[in-house]
Amino acid sequence: MIDPVTLAVIQAGLQQVCDEMDLTFSRAAFSPVIAEADDRSDGIYSATDGSLIAQGSRGLPVFVGTMQFSTRHIVERIASGDTLPPEEGDIYIVNDPYLGGTHLMDVRFAMPFWRNGEIFCWLSNTGHWPDTGGAVPGGFSASAISAEQEGLRLPPVKLFKRGQMDAEIYQIICSNIRVAEQRIGDVQAQASALLVGAERLTQLLDRYGDATVTAAIAEMRALAARQMRANAALIPEGRYSATAIVDSDGVVNEPLTIALTVTRQGDTLTFDFAGSSPPCMGPMNSVRATTLSSVFLAMRHIFPDVPISAGAFEPLTVIGIEGTFLDAHYPRPVSGCAAEVSQRIAEAVFAALVQAIPDRVTAAPAGTSGNFGLGGHDPERGRDYVMYQISGGGYGGNAAHDGLTNGCSTIGISKAPPVEIMEQNFPVLYRRYALREGSGGAGTHRGGFGLDYEIELLRGTARASFVMDHGRSGPQGAMGGKDGAVNIVEVIRNGETLIPEHLSKAQDIPLSPGDRVRVRTPGGGGYGPPAGRAAASVMEDVRLGRYSADEAQRLWPQIAGKKT
Amino acid sequence: MTDLVAGVDVGGTFTDLVILDPATGAVQLAKVPTSLPNQAPGVLAAFDAAGANLADLALIVHGTTTTTNAVLERNLCKTGLITTLGFRDVLELGRRTRPQPYGMTGTFTPVIPRDLRLEIPERMDAQGRPVTPLDEDALRSALRHLIDQGCESLVIHFLHAYANPAHEIRAAEIAREVWPTPYITGGHDLLSESREYERGVTAAVNASVQPLLERYVARLAGELRDRGYPRDLLVMNGNGGMVEASKVSREAVKTVMSGPASGVMAALATGRRAGFPNLLTYDMGGTSTDVAMIRGNRAPVSNEIEVEYAMPIHVPMVDVRTVGAGGGSIARVDAGGMLRVGPESAGSTPGPVCYGRGGTRVTISDANLILGRLPADRFGQAAEDARRAMHDQIAAPLGLTTEAAAEAVLRIANTHMAGAIRMVSISLGADPRDFALFAFGGAGPLHATALARELAIPRVLVPARPGITNALGCVVADLRHDFVRTLNRPLDSVDMDQVHAILAAQEAEGRRLIAAERIALTDTTAEFTADMQFIGQTHLLRIPLPSATPTRDDIRQRFEAAYHARFRVTLPTIRANLVNLNCSVIGHRPYMDLSRLIDPAERRTIATPKATRTVWFGQPMETPVYWRDHLPLDPRITGPAIIEQMDTTTVIDPGCTVRGDADGNLIVEVPQ
C-alpha cells in the first residue's frame, strides 16, 4: 500500500505530464482547430490493455476516454500480428473510426514509452486535422452514405520509425488531403507533444522509481473507481429513462431516436440504449468509442471532481448499443458522431439523471456545434476559400441559477471566432450577431439564450452547408421547465426564404452576391415550473428586451398586472 | 524640501507605505488596515502611522485596487454603449465559452446591461471602407436616451474601427457637444486591433471605472494637499509605469492590475541590484498566489490579459498569472479517499481556522501553523482549533497523525503550485531552472525553498521586506509607455520603410509623454519587439528587435531562432507573418538605495537564534528561530531554520544554506 502523500504527488505529476503535452501540441500547431480551438487531447495509457491512466485537463471533452480504445486496438493488433511490433522511437498514426475513434479528421498518434527495453505505457494523442480528403473540404459531408466519401482511412501504421519520419507514408497521406503543405507543422507538433511527454515521464520515474509509480497508477485507478461509486450512490436506487432526438441523418429525412434507461443498482450505473434507432444511411452514425466517451463526458459534467481515469469508468456499464446507430460498423458514414450525436447522447444522460439528482444536473443545453460551412471563390483576392462559422447556444437552467447565454458546445471548449476576423478573411458581411430573444426555455430558472446571426455574401459565388441539430425539437426542459427554442436555418436567395428540407442539415446550397444566411441557435431548457419564477425576474427580462411583454405574459402568467 | 519618495500600495487586507530617502537610503515603513470602499482614509492613516510630514515629500506614488475591485465586484458607474446596428449584444455573448471545461453551470454579468446598449446605423468593412454612413440623427437620439437614463459614462464602439476610426471620431465629436461629463471612450482609443469583443470589453471597462478612479484620486490628492503635500500624486499603471493623477483616469483601465505590477517592479529593481537578471516572482498571500517571469532585467508585459472569466483587457500590462488560491486554500479528503488542496478557498473571511474568525475548514495556513512554521503563540486558542480541524478533517480519514496530515497538505499544495508555475514557464517558452525564485507576499517565503526544490530551481531570493514589496515597487518604478501597432502581413511583403516609420513614431510619442512629466530621470530608453507567427498559425511569439531600424533579415533570423529554441522545429518552407510592432519607452528613475530597508543599527555581528522550536520537516526537528532584523548582512545559516520578521516568516528547509547581500536580501541555496 502506497502512502497517500506519495500517491497524490505522483497523480499530480502524471497530470502534469499530460497537461504539458496538451500545451506543447496547441502552441506549436498550425491548424486553428488545434491551436485556437484546442480540438486535441493527450494522455497516458496502459501498456497491457490501453486503459486510461491520465489525460490532459485541457483536452477536448469529447475525447474523454476515446484514445484508450484506439490504444487498445493497436495493442491487440500488434499481438495478433495485424500491425508491426514497435521498436524504440516508433510512432503509430491511425484515424480509422471503427478502431476506437471518432470521425476521420481526428488523427491519433500512439507512441510506446520504453523503460529498460520494455514498454512501460503508451503516450497517445488526437488532433483534429482540417482535412483528411473525401467529398467535401473539412470532411463534414452532410450527405455521405459511405466511409470512403468521408476521406482517407488509415489503419495503425508507423509514421515515425526509430525516430525518423517515414517520408513515403507521409507522401501518401499528403497526396490524399487538401492544404497538405501546412500539415508538416501539425505532424511535427503532434509528435513533439509526445516527445515532451516522454521526457517528463522519464524524470518522474527516475525520481520516484518505476515500482512506486506502477503501484500508484493501480491505486489511482482504484481510488477513481471508488469516487465514482460514491457519486453513483448519491443517486436514489431505481431506473431513469429519457430520449433524445437527432433531427435526421442528413440523407433520409426521419428523426433518429436515442432511447436511454439508466439503472442505479448498488454502486454501479448501467446505461441501456436498447430501442435506439438502427444504423442510418447518412453520416449521423456513432461508433462504439464515441458513444462510450459521450456517456463518460456527460458524467464528468455532472461530477467534475472525479479524475479522468479508467477507474472512473469501471462502475459505468453501457449496454444495448449493438445493432443501433450508436455502434455503427464499416462502411457506415460517421462524420456527424463527434460533433452532434455525441451531444444528443450527453443530453439523454442529463435528461435521465436530472430526475434523480436535480440539484446536480441542468436542463438540456443547446447541444449543437452549429457548423456552418461556406465554400466559394473570392474574385477580389483571386482565390478559393472555405469558411467555418461555429456557434454556441443557451445552457439549461439549473437548481442554482438561469442557464448561461451563448455557451460552448457540450463536447467542446473552444471560442468562436470574432466577426471582425471572419470578415477580414472571407467575402461576407455580418448583418447581425445578436442574442436570440425569447429563446430561453421558460422555468423557475429559465434557459440561457441562443445566438441570432445573419451573414451576407458580398462577391463571387459560394455554396453553403450546415451540420447542426435540434431543428425539430428544442433542448429539453427539466423538472417542469419548458424546452428551449429550436434551431432555425434560413437561406434568403433573391429575396426568397428557403428552409432546408432537413431543417438543421444541408449540403451545397448555391449562393450569389446579396444572398443571406440567417441562423438562430437553440436556447437552453428551462428548469422547474415557470410558475415558480419570481415576477420581478420575469419583469427584469422584459425590461432588458430578452422576452417581449406578450411572450413573457404567455410563459409566466404570474406577471399579470405587473408593470415594467 | 528633501528628496523623500513615498510608495503607498493598497491591498485587499493591508495598506503598506514605504518612504525612502534616496540620498541616505533611510526608510520609514507602515502597515495599516485597508479602508473600504474608499481607500483614501487608509492611505492617510498609513502616513500618520509612519509619522511622516507630507510637506517633506518630493513624490508620492500610489498603487490602488480601486478599479480592480470595481470590475470584479461589478460596482461600476452607469455606462451607456452606442454601437453598430446588429451588434449591441457582443458584450453579452462573448466568445461562446463556459467558466470551466467540465460542468454546464456558471453565470456571466456583462459590463454594460442590455437596456443601456443602443444600436445606430453605420458600418465599415474589414478594409475600413464605409458600407453604411454614420446616421447622425440616430446617434443624437441615442445620446439623448442614455442621458435621460442617467448614464455617467459613454462608450462608442463600432465594428472595424481599428481599420478606420472615422465614424467613431465623428460620433465622439457629436457626443461631446451634449454629453454632460468628459467620460467618453471610443473603441479604438485604447487599442487598434481587431476582435470586437476584446476591444469592446476593454473600452467598456475603461468608461465604467473612469469616474470612480477620477473621484477617488482627486479626493486623495486634495486631502494630501490639505495636509501640506504640494506636488503631484502619481498612480501606478498595470504596465509597471506610473502616471500623473490628473491624467490617470483618461485611460483608467490601465490601472486594473496596478498592485501586481508594482510587486514585479520591486522584484525587478531588487534583482538588478542583487545581480539576478532572471527571476520567477512568487507572490503568495492569503487569497491568491501570483507568478511572473522577469527575463534579462525586463518586466514581462502582455496585451492579452484576462482578469477573470470572459473579462479580457487588451492593453499592455505586466503579465502576472494566478496559480493558486493562497494560504486560504482548503484541504479535504474526497469521496474516493484522495487528499486534495484547493481550488476552494476560505479567502480572508472567514479565513483559515487559525485566524479565529469563524473559519471551520482546514487550510494551507493551518498546516503551516501545526508544523511549527508559524509561531503558535500569535494565534492563541485558534491554534488548538486548527489542530482539531486537521485531525478531524484530514488525519482521521487517512489514518495519519495530525502532523503527518499537515505535512501531506503542504506537500500536495507545493506539488500543485510547482506544476502551475512550470506550466506558466512553458507557456512563456522558458525552463524554470534557469531562474531564481523571488519570494514575497505574506506567505511566499514560507513555501519558497520547498517549492524551489520541487521545481529544481537552485536559488531563492527573499527580499528585505517581502510583506511590503508592492509599496516598494511604487517607490522604484520607472516611467513607462507601451505602444502596439497591428500590421498582420507576411514578413516578405511588409514595407520596411513603414516598419521603421511606425517604430520611430512610437518612440517619439513615448519620449514626448515622458518629457512632459516632471520627474527626475537618469535617461530614457526605448525597446522594440515584434509579435510573429508562421502564416497559418494563431499563437504569437514575441521577438526582441535590435533597434528601431531592423532589416527584414534581422527579423526573420530572430524569429526562426526563437521558434526553434521553443519548439525544436524549423519550418523552412512556410512563410513568417509580422503581426504586431511594439515599442516600450522607459524613463529610468535614479537608482534607489535599498540597503536600509532593514535598519542597519539593529544588525548584530553574529547570527544568534532568539529561540528554538519544534518544526516538522518529514520528522520533528528542533529548529533555531532567528529575528530577521538582528541577522548580520551575511548570516551564513544552514537549514533547518525559521527567520521571522514583522511582515513575514521565512522557512529554510534542512540542507539549504543562507547568505546575504548588502541590501539585506537573503539568498538561499537549494541543493538538488
In a domain, A95, yes or no: yes
In a domain, A338, yes or no: no
Which of A413-417, A560-564, B543-547 bottoms out in mean pLDDT, i.e. has the lowest? Answer: A560-564
**Spacing of C-alpha B566 from chain mean position:** 25
In a domain, A350, yes or no: no
> What are B495-534's pLDDT values in tens digits?
999 999 999 999 999 999 888 887 888 999 999 999 998 8
Nearest residue, CB atoms, A405 vs list B88, B93, B416: B93
CB contact under 8 A, B89 and A410: no
What average pLDDT does range A418-425 have in this prediction?
90
10 Å CB burial of residue B165 (0-12, 13-18, 19+) is buried
Q: How far apart are CA B237 and CA B287, in angstroms?
A: 22
- Whether A398 and chain B come into contact, CB under 8 Å, resolves to yes
- Whether A539 and chain B come into contact, CB under 8 Å, resolves to no
Nearest residue, CB atoms, B195 vs list A26, A30, A421: A421
* In the block, residue with C-alpha cell 461631446: B176
In a domain, A51, yes or no: yes
Whether residue A423 has pLDDT greater than 60? yes
CB contact under 8 A, A406 and B101: no
* DSSP secondary structure string for all residues of A220-276: HHHHHHHHHHHHHTTSPSEEEEEEEEE---SSS-S-EEEEEEEEEETTEEEEE-TTP
Q: Which residues of A touch B126 (CB under 8 A)?
A: 420, 423-424
Is residue B587 within 8 A of residue B479, CB to CB? The reply is yes
Beta strands in A101-223 (DSSP E): 106-115, 118-128, 157-161, 164-165
Q: Which residues of A touch B534 (CB under 8 A)?
A: 30, 185
Residue B582 bridge partners (DSSP): B484, B529
Nearest residue, CB atoms, A20 vs list B408, B426, B538: B426
What interhelical angle do A210-232 and A183-208 show, nearest 10?
Answer: 100
Extract the C-alpha cell encoding B1: 524640501
- Whether A27 and chain B come into contact, CB under 8 Å, resolves to yes
Q: Which residue of chain B is at minimal alpha-carbon distance from A25?
A: B567
Q: Which residues of B touch A419 (CB under 8 A)?
A: 87, 90, 159, 196
Q: What is the pLDDT of residue B62?
A: 95
- Whether A372 and chain B come into contact, CB under 8 Å, resolves to no
> What are A481-516's pLDDT values in tens digits?
999 999 999 999 999 999 999 999 999 999 999 999
Strands A164-165 and A157-161: antiparallel
Output the CA torsion sign for A310, A314, A315, A321: positive
DSSP B303: S
CB contact under 8 A, A189 and B416: no
Range of the domain at A419: 362-533
Any alpha helices (H) in B314-401, and if so which ranges?
364-370, 381-390, 396-398
Q: B423 to chain A nearest CA, in Å?
A: 7
CB contact under 8 A, A23 and B92: no
CB contact under 8 A, A16 and B569: no
Whether residue A37 has pLDDT greater than 80? no
Q: Which residues of B touch A184 (CB under 8 A)?
A: 571, 573
What is the identity of the amino acid at B576?
A
Nearest residue, CB atoms, B92 vs list A26, A29, A435: A435
Strand order in the sheet with A371-378: A383-389, A371-378, A462-467, A505-511
CB contact under 8 A, A9 and B412: yes
Q: Which residues of A touch B125 (CB under 8 A)?
A: 423, 429
Whether residue B350 has pLDDT greater than 80? yes
| Boundary (domain end) residue, out of A157, A191, A225 | A225
Nearest residue, CB atoms, A420 vs list B86, B194, B415: B194
Q: What is the ipTM of this complex?
A: 0.94
At residue B27, what are phi and psi to the nearest 5 degrees?
A: -130, 140
Nearest residue, CB atoms, A398 vs list B93, B105, B340: B105
Q: Which residue of chain B is at minimal alpha-carbon distance from A435?
A: B89
A452, containing H or E segment: strand A451-457
Residues 243-262 of A with CB under 8 A from B: none
Q: How far apart are CA A38 and CA A341, in angstroms?
A: 20
Q: A259 to chain B nearest CA, in Å?
A: 22
Q: Which residue of chain A is at minimal alpha-carbon distance from B193?
A: A420
Extract the C-alpha cell encoding B213: 478612479
Please give, one letter per residue, the 3-state secondary structure of A201-233.
HHHHHHHHCHHHHHHHHHHHHHHHHHHHHHHHC
Q: B435 to chain A nearest CA, in Å?
A: 19
Q: How far apart are CA A381 and CA B672, in angstroms?
A: 59
10 Å CB burial of residue B525 (0-12, 13-18, 19+) is middle
Whether residue A36 has pLDDT greater than 80? no
In a domain, A171, yes or no: yes
| Boundary (domain end) residue, out of A192, A225, A258 | A225
Please give, one letter per residue, the 3-state secondary structure of B473-529.
HHHHCCEEEEEEEEEEEEHHHCCHHHHHHHHHHHHHHHHHHHHCCCCCCCEEEEEEE
Q: What is the pLDDT of residue B536?
A: 66
**Cα dihedral A48, A52, A58, A63 in deg (nearest 10):** 100
Number of domains in chain A: 2
A552, containing H or E segment: helix A549-555
Q: A332 to chain B nearest CA, in Å?
A: 31
CB contact under 8 A, A404 and B416: no
Which of B88, B90, B102 is the mutation pick for testing A, counting most A CBs within 10 A?
B102
A35, containing H or E segment: helix A32-35
Burial A464-487 (b: 16+ CB within 10 A, else e): bbbbbbbbebbbbbbbebbbbbbb
**Triad B244, B245, B246: Cα angle to 5°:** 90
Is residue B95 within 8 A of residue B40, CB to CB? The reply is no
Q: Which residues of A touch B567 (CB under 8 A)?
A: 24, 27-28, 188-189, 192
Q: How far apart are CA B584 and CA B574, in angstroms?
A: 30
Nearest residue, CB atoms, A192 vs list B426, B539, B568: B568
At residue A437, what are phi and psi to the nearest 5 degrees?
A: -65, 145
Q: What is the pLDDT of residue B568?
A: 62
Beta strands in A91-195 (DSSP E): 91-94, 106-115, 118-128, 157-161, 164-165
> What are A234-288's pLDDT values in tens digits?
999 999 999 999 999 999 999 999 999 999 999 999 999 999 999 999 999 999 9
Q: For chain A, what percent of residues have pLDDT higher than 90?
A: 82
Could you give the C-alpha distances from B149 to A543, B83, B117, B158, B338, in angstroms and in order? 13, 17, 12, 22, 54
Is residue B333 within 8 A of residue B341, CB to CB? The reply is no
- Confidence grade of residue B538 (pLDDT, cut at 50, 70, 90): low
Is residue A95 within 8 A of residue A101, CB to CB? The reply is yes
Extract the C-alpha cell encoding B626: 532567528
Could you give the C-alpha distances from B263 to A133, B16, B283, B328, B477, in angstroms and in order? 53, 12, 8, 20, 10
Q: Which residue of chain A is at minimal alpha-carbon distance from B342?
A: A305
> Cis peptide before B640, with omega less than 30 degrees from 0?
yes
**Triad A431, A433, A436: Cα angle to 5°:** 120
> What are B374-426's pLDDT values in tens digits?
998 889 999 999 999 999 999 999 999 999 999 999 999 999 899 889 888 88
Residue A527 bridge partners (DSSP): A445, A478
CB contact under 8 A, A404 and B105: yes
CB contact under 8 A, A451 and B103: no
In a domain, A81, yes or no: yes
> Cis peptide before B37, with omega less than 30 degrees from 0?
yes
10 Å CB burial of residue A230 (0-12, 13-18, 19+) is middle
Reported pTM: 0.92
Q: How far apart are CA A10 and CA B412, in angstroms?
A: 10
In a domain, A115, yes or no: yes
CB contact under 8 A, B195 and A408: no
Q: How many CB pairs under 8 A join A and B?
A: 216
Q: How far apart are CA B448 and CA B454, in angstroms?
A: 10
What average pLDDT does range B15-41 have in this prediction?
90
Q: How far apart are CA B307 and CA B327, in angstroms?
A: 21
Contacts of B671 (CB under 8 A, 6+ apart): B655, B656
CB contact under 8 A, B101 and A58: yes
CB contact under 8 A, B427 and A433: no
Q: How far apart are CA B110 and CA B117, in angstroms?
A: 11
Contacts of A479 (CB under 8 A, 6+ apart): A354, A355, A358, A363, A443, A527, A528, A529
Which of A452-466, B392-406, B557-571 bottoms out in mean pLDDT, i.e. has the lowest? Answer: B557-571
> What are A167-186's pLDDT values in tens digits?
999 999 999 998 787 788 88
Whether residue B365 has pLDDT greater than 80? yes
> What are B593-649's pLDDT values in tens digits?
888 999 999 999 999 999 999 999 999 999 999 999 999 999 999 999 999 998 899
In a domain, A374, yes or no: yes
Beta strands in B109-266 (DSSP E): 117-120, 123-124, 130-132, 153-157, 184-186, 233-236, 242-244
